[in-house]
Structure 1
Amino acid sequence: MIPHRPRGKMKPRSAVASGLLTLAMLGGCSSPNHQQRPEQPAPPAPKTASAPLTAPAPAPAPSHPLTENRLVNSGLIIESFAAKFGAPELKQIPSEVIDTGVFRYVPYLSYEASQLELNIYGDPQHPAGVEIGVYAGKDSTKEEIRKLIAGLLQKAEDRELVHGLALEKDELQRAGLTFVVTPATAEDAFGGWWISIYDANAIEKARASDAELKVLAQKPPKSESTPTAPAGKKKGKKHARKPGEAPRVYIKDYSREGDTYVPADSDEHW
């Protein structure tokens, strides 16, 4: 490393002598009798069109719901649910079109294990909401569901909020997400007890249009159109139709391209 040298003071020189030396080196003459050529005016600088001033483009709004960096991904949610409540029994079940409440007309994927159900709403790759529920569950089971939901969250503040939810009925909000405990007696509970986490703005944008419903919704399998479960027992899925209406279920696999739902390129059917 080269050591730093402190700059010394320059020796003063005569400004006149310095100027004469510069002229001599450049071939000039310092004689006062020498006639110098008149200086030619510098050519005018070419005119250039100035670019119009424009305001910077606004930053694009985030296209993914707030659940994106707060919950683990859909695959890990399903795996965690299966590991906690019975992997051998886990199966995807038809998800009936919901026409009331927060999740009305939002497509979703549904899975069940024993008496429990997991629903993932909106784009499966970027879900706008997740809920886990139980039909005729005990308080101990509800506590296990709360622990599982908390474990799916990536921020300590969100986990702490979930642990503070009242198991009977509750609704809290934090940083754009809504955390809800829905009792079985609620209109949109359909006989189950639920803990739900969702981005309300993203849920609103995730609702399927009438045209999309014609593509995504279909008649359920025969076994689903005529439930055989005894009264008071789990019906096997979240029922959402009004009395007398023909049931509809979402297709088994779909995706979202931009703002439009499309059937997935799959041969799987109910």
Structure 2
Amino acid sequence: MTPDTLFDALWNDYIKRLCPSADKVHRLLREDEALINDHIALRTFNCAPLGIATIAQPFLEAGYVACGDYEFESKKLVAKHYEHPDPKQPKVFISELKVDECSTELQQIITKLVEPLDHSKLKGHEFLSGGRLWDVSYADFQILAKESEYASWLAAHGYGANHFTVSVNQLNEFEEVQQVNDYLRTSGFSINEAGGEVKGSPDVLLEQSSTMADKVAVRFTEGVEMIPGGFYEFAKRYPMSNGELYSGFVAASADKIFESTNNE
């Protein structure tokens, strides 16, 4: 299996189910060459067998290797990022919710969702872009959202790319992340302003921004509701002392990027 197989499936699911507006953004920013995808992000629970290791396995089989580790204490999250030996392949950022550190009520809801899972559905790579592996009520979604937006998003949407990311370094028309933001705002898109429109700085070798998540239709046991789906991110990387572009992530910036799926 090649990385292209994985990312094609994830992209098609992303623009169809999670972030339809990304296709329009993609066309707005595309120039003479195909856009470079800097990275994707995936979410999961730390409940066996749904942890980071399981989500990462298809990427490891496609040649990826683990690189950085991150922690987001206030959100009760940990994350790892993975890179491919071919630097043209997107990086992969996988986070998980430490369910055992959350309230008893949240733990009970998540356990109810994941305990009946058929573990055979986690084999191969298809589940990564397959959406939800469980049924969930809108009432439980609302309870989760009060404590953890992350938990409610994952419970509602299941697996798929939370976001794709345009590499601003590649663009000819725009040199700065802020310029991309300004252009997209004039085209009708909302930009995540948590922690400032541009997260990070040249000093930390990475600048990031993102649209606010699309509102998409999700079927709950009580019926269909419109809730935040996926969003599109933009990243500019700066060279390290050896001249190579920084390839990691900045936890303080990523923490604010998570808020792109907040329910405004």
TM normalised by structure 2 equals: 0.30
Bigger relative contact order (CA 8 A; separation at least 6): 2
The answer to which structure has the higher helix fraction is 2
